[in-house]
Amino acid sequence: MRRILFGLLAVTIMAGCGASPAPESGTAEPERLRVEVAEVLPHDEEAFTQGLELEGDTLYEGTGLVGRSSLRAGPLGQEPDVVVELPEPLFGEGITVTGPSVWQLTWQSGVAFERDPETLAERRRVEYAGEGWGLCHQEGRDRLVMSDGSATLRFRDPADFRETGSVTVTEGERSIDQLNELECVGDDVYANVWQTDEILRIAADSGAVTARIDASGLLTPAERQGADVLNGIAAIEGTDQFIVTGKLWPKMFRVNLVPAG
């Protein structure tokens, strides 16, 4: 009798397992990509690049360092038409264009500048808590995405810079920090990882890392001597290409993202 009951119980358990399978554990591995150079462009090797964005035919670049911070705008691959400097002790950081405005962060001063996209003239200053690193605009969601060097991306209202939410960036069970300059493309955020030659593609709503992009080898060993880290990624609208550069780099690169070999 015990054997019969045990057998019936086992069948019932197995049937239940078949009807309601356990959820799968783990997450998909990030896609592995690398940059493939399509064109080499000039870049001001004295520009400590903190933010880069291409809006139409205009390249906007924010630079850092105290006493050398600026915001520049002009045709891609040419000298900027307009340059505004930040007064000391401000250290410029990430930038983004929302259409009617350009927003520019500062590193540790807790101040964001809203500027006119054509003249770059200051319209107002808005205070925020913590550090400012990278910034981009999700046009479809009409929200700003901001990094501060941690594993957290913060969402802000582009009209008043008010924080509206946040997400933690993760790869599997591990959080990923050192997120620096940002570029929004659709539902994804591309993030330079500070002090590396790697760019992450992140699903903005979940924070999941969906791709790791190897951007190493762009500069020659001689060029690396005077250069700092990779930092600057700007999507080229209407294509799958990007402009990438770095702090004090003598070149910019128009690149395709291709599967890593």
For residue 234, give the CATH number of its domain.
Answer: 2.120.10.30
Distance, in Å, from the CA atom of 106 to the CA atom of 16, rounded to the nearest integer, reads 57
* pLDDT for the residue 125: 96
CB count, 10 Å around CB of 161? Answer: 18
* pLDDT for the residue 27: 62
- Each of the 261 residues of the chain gets a pLDDT tens digit; together they read 333 333 433 433 333 433 333 333 346 899 999 999 999 999 999 999 999 999 999 999 999 999 999 999 999 999 999 999 999 999 999 999 998 999 999 999 999 999 999 999 999 999 999 999 999 999 989 999 999 999 999 999 999 999 999 999 999 999 999 999 999 999 999 999 999 999 999 999 999 999 999 999 999 999 999 999 999 999 999 999 999 999 999 999 999 999 997
Angle CA(116)–CA(120)–CA(124) in degrees, nearest 5?
Answer: 60
List Cβ neighbours of 13 (8 Å cut-off, separation of 6 or more).
none
Assess if residue 178 is contained within a domain.
yes
* pLDDT for the residue 40: 98
Assess if residue 13 is contained within a domain.
no
Assess if residue 18 is contained within a domain.
no
Domain that holds residue 41: 26-259
Amino acid 260 reads: A
Among candidate residues 57, 59, 96, 98, the one with its CA nearest the CA of residue 182: 96
Whether the Cβ atoms of residue 3 and residue 182 lie closer than 8 Å to each other? no
Assess if residue 183 is contained within a domain.
yes
Q: Which residue has the tokens 């554990």?
A: 25
Assess if residue 156 is contained within a domain.
yes
Distance, in Å, from the CA atom of 258 to the CA atom of 31, rounded to the nearest integer, reads 10
How many distinct structural domains can be found in the chain? Answer: 1
| pTM of the model as a whole | 0.88
* pLDDT for the residue 261: 78
* pLDDT for the residue 33: 98
Do the strands 174-175 and 102-106 form a parallel or antiparallel pair, or are they unpaired? unpaired
* pLDDT for the residue 17: 38
